[in-house]
Amino acid sequence: MSSAVIDTMTTYEEFNELREKIKNQVSSVKKISDEIELSESFRNNLERMEHIVASEMFKVMVIGSFSRGKSTLINALLGEKILPAKLTPTTAVITILKYGPTPRAILYYKEKLDEPVEIPIEQLKQYLEIPRSYYKNDDSRISSSIEMVEIYYPLDLCKNGVEIVDSPGLEEDEVRQRITLQFLNKCDAAIVVLSCLQLLTLPEEHFIREELLQRGFDHLFYVLNYGDSVTKDDEDDLWDRVTSKLGKQERSFLVSSKYALQGKLTNDQVLLQESNFMPFELELENFLVRESGKVKIKSSQKILMQFINDLIELLNIKLNILEKSKLEDLEHLEKNSLFVRNQFLKERNM
């Protein structure tokens, strides 16, 4: 399917028809893949492809390192302090924000036998914040019994099946990173939250290249947060750094989520203006209303194509090996390798 066809795709029926076709193609590819041993990145892409086509929802993950202001940014979108946002770590859970006429919060437990529990939304912070006495030593060892939180809120942005996902910080500890990366496979788009005060650290750059771009995320929003902490003079340098590290990015915004939240809470238009949050909010809204359907189709097609090409290449390599070498040759090579390994182990122990 050419992208020209996608651009003219108008009706919901056409969209659904296309999705059905891709779903069938994905399941054919899955059947082939089940017969072969796959690498980690192969499996990630296969999982992501299956989730994207199967889900009716459009999930946007807010992602970034510890304390870049991810939860504050979501609170600023809500105009209310719903999510815990602190300098200290919070429980490593995925929080999914969905549209609902009245605010509600539901906790899902790791123990599948435990039924989900609805709690008063204003108590959410008490459930997710780690008590001060715990993180004195090693907070990474604190494991929460909560796996996921679902929040319903009358946020227009989330109408029509859009879900906004708050994720535990990257590179804080392995547990948080694993939870976030696993959930990333279920998401359609991402908002990368960076801080002007530590713009694009090496791990952040690595994450964007190796995890996001590798998974085929190509409609990224970049938010340079903590805009209140830099002067006008610093701005050009910040943009230069972004461009030199990531190339020219259309969807990048220098904002202060803190001012935006404060501005909305106190109805302070000057502070809201100063936060520079509105252009970001507007662009996000536009993107979600106008492009989410197309993005779902385009990303599925892109990942599917890439996946098929990689699969063919992998099969070619395997076939080449089989063609060029007889079974006895391979057995001989294996025997030699085992011999060298034994020698190595013996000498190492001497």
Ligand X SMILES: Nc1nc2c(ncn2[C@@H]2O[C@H](COP(=O)(O)OP(=O)(O)O)[C@@H](O)[C@H]2O)c(=O)[nH]1
The number of residues that bind ligand X (CB under 6 A) is 19
Q: 3-class DSSP state for residue 3?
A: helix
Residues found near Mg ion in the complex (CB under 5 A): 70-71
Give the residue carrying structure tokens 């602190």.
86
Exactly one of 85, 184, 238, 284 binds ligand X (CB under 6 A); that residue is 85
Residue nearest to Mg ion (CB): 71
Q: Which does 72 bind (CB under 5 to 8 A by kind): Mg ion, ligand X, none?
A: ligand X
Exactly one of 11, 13, 34, 87 binds ligand X (CB under 6 A); that residue is 87
For ligand X, the closer CB: 18 or 191: 191
Q: Which does 264 bind (CB under 5 to 8 A by kind): Mg ion, ligand X, none?
A: none
Q: Does 67 bind ligand X (CB under 6 A)?
A: yes
Question: Contact letters (x/-) for ligand X, 256-285, by CB under 6 A?
Answer: xxx---------------------------
Q: Give the per-residue SS3 of 71-120.
A: HHHHHHHHCCCCCCCCCCCECCCEEEEEECCCCEEEEEECCCCCCCEEEC
CA gap 260, 275 in Å, rounded: 5
Q: Rg of the chain's alpha carbons, rounded to an integer?
A: 24
Closest to 229 (Cα-Cα) out of 264, 195, 253, 194: 195
Q: What are phi and psi of 220, to 5 degrees?
A: -75, 145
Residues 220-239 that bind ligand X (CB under 6 A): 225-226, 228-229
Q: How far is the CB of 89 from ligand X (least distance, A)?
A: 8
For ligand X, the closer CB: 212 or 314: 212
Q: Which does 183 bind (CB under 5 to 8 A by kind): ligand X, Mg ion, none?
A: none
Q: Does 215 bind ligand X (CB under 6 A)?
A: no
CA gap 79, 190 in Å, rounded: 21
N-terminal to C-terminal alpha carbon distance within the chain: 63
Exactly one of 15, 66, 127, 239 binds ligand X (CB under 6 A); that residue is 66
The answer to whether residues 254 and 69 touch, using CB atoms and an 8 Å cutoff, is no
Binding site residues, ligand X, CB under 6 A: 64, 66-72, 85-87, 169, 225-226, 228-229, 256-258
